[in-house]
Amino acid sequence: MQSESLTVTNKKNRIGGNGMLYVLALPGLIYLLLFCYLPLGGLIIVFKNYNFIDGIFGSPWVGLDNFRFFFSSFDKAWRATQNTVILNGMYIVFGTIVSVALAIMFNEIRRKKFLMITQSISFFPYFISWAVAGGLLLTVIDFDKGTLEQLIAWLGFEKIDFFTEASYWPAILTVANVWKFAGYNSIIYFAVLTNLDQSYYESASIDGASRLQMMWRISIPLLKPTVIILTLLAIGRIFYGDLTMMMGLTNLNPMLFPTTDIIDTFVYRTVIKNGEFAMASAVGLYQSIFGFILVYVFNYVSGRFDKEYKLF
């Protein structure tokens, strides 16, 4: 009994001593509750024939009928799902490589002023909207006046009409995504590098290792846990596309649908424009379920290599 009372007392003292930390966490917890957990009750709309008059809870039940529209045209549904996974997979792979490379290069810069300038330049695209990015892309690949098109013609090659050739767009979209987000994501990896124990580098320097060898043998291996965790989090949204990105860069050009029609654009064109929110919610549930399954699978696979890399 005495040991139990001491345990309870220690817990109370620990909670009381960290009172300000709980207060600081309170706004985040309230946000999480209001915008992440309470809205889960609205998932009931997925199984109802929603109308504005009866509302979410008064609308009649329809079971799984709201899922049928997406899978009734299986070819288009499969194409949208395939494009979403492929594009997001390319974003994750190439975005991670460039972000890690930027972070390592930032870590090698010794002049703080130059470091601030280079970080600001790499970070700036994150604040540019996709609408503006679409205008910039047009100045590069426009068939008549695009910079790239003029360069191709100057080199003596036949110009390419990128806005009618769907096969080029996975690469174009990947470059655009990396250009916009790599600088922002590199800050996370750079923060990890700056907090590493510098004795690793000092010992390697004493042993005669070059800066390149230190990057390859020390920096990259020590970044591996962070890379795996962020990749697992990104995989959780691999079934979600960026609708604003597609609208800004492709203007939902039908000629590019074979490689750019993702789940979100498919739903926007076929459902949301008509006000069918229940069907749109059904697709959102479909994306969430399969995203969770993928996270669980990749978390299990990463745990098979090293248990410390698992999220749960």
Residue 153 and residue 144: Cα distance in Å, rounded?
11
Per-residue tokens: 174: 């990947």
Q: What is the pLDDT of residues 104-144, one digit of tens each?
A: 999 888 888 898 899 899 989 999 999 999 999 999 999 88
Percent of the chain with pLDDT over 70: 92
Q: What is the pLDDT of residues 142-176, one digit of tens each?
A: 988 889 989 999 998 899 999 999 999 999 999 99
- Give the mean model confidence (pLDDT) for residues 205-220: 87
Percent of the chain with pLDDT over 90: 37
Does pLDDT of 274 surpass 80? no
- Give the mean model confidence (pLDDT) for residues 284-291: 85
- Give the mean model confidence (pLDDT) for residues 17-32: 84
Considering the four listed CATH numbers 3.40.50.620, 3.40.50.970, 3.40.50.1220, 1.10.3720.10, the one that applies to the domain covering 64-309 is 1.10.3720.10
Does pLDDT of 13 surpass 70? no
In the prediction, which pLDDT does 10 show? 58
- Give the mean model confidence (pLDDT) for residues 60-79: 82
Does pLDDT of 81 surpass 80? yes
More confident site: 174 or 207: 174
Residue 106 and residue 256: Cα distance in Å, rounded?
37
The domain spans of the chain are 64-309
* pLDDT band of 95, cuts 50, 70, 90: very high
- Give the mean model confidence (pLDDT) for residues 201-206: 86
Q: Which of 103, 101, 108, 176 is nearest to 138 (CA)?
A: 176
Q: What is the pLDDT of residues 41-67, one digit of tens each?
A: 778 888 888 877 887 778 888 888 888
Residue 32 and residue 39: Cα distance in Å, rounded?
10
Q: Average pLDDT over the chain, rounded to whole?
A: 86
In the prediction, which pLDDT does 312 show? 72
In the prediction, which pLDDT does 168 show? 95
Per-residue tokens: 253: 């050009």
Question: What is the CB neighbour count within 10 angstroms for residue 292?
Answer: 12
Helices (H), the chain: 2-17, 19-32, 55-58, 65-72, 74-108, 112-123, 130-141, 147-154, 169-194, 199-206, 211-214, 220-235, 243-250, 257-260, 263-270, 277-305
Does pLDDT of 305 surpass 90? no
Give the pTM: 0.85
Burial group, residue 260, by CB count within 10 angstroms (0-12, 13-18, 19+) = buried
Q: Is the dihedral of CA 265, 247, 260, 164 positive or negative?
A: positive
Does pLDDT of 6 surpass 50? no
The secondary structure of 178-223 as a DSSP string is HHHHHHHHHHHHHHHHHTS-THHHHHHHHTT--HHHHIIIIIHHHH
Q: Are 110 and 300 in contact (CB under 8 A)?
A: no
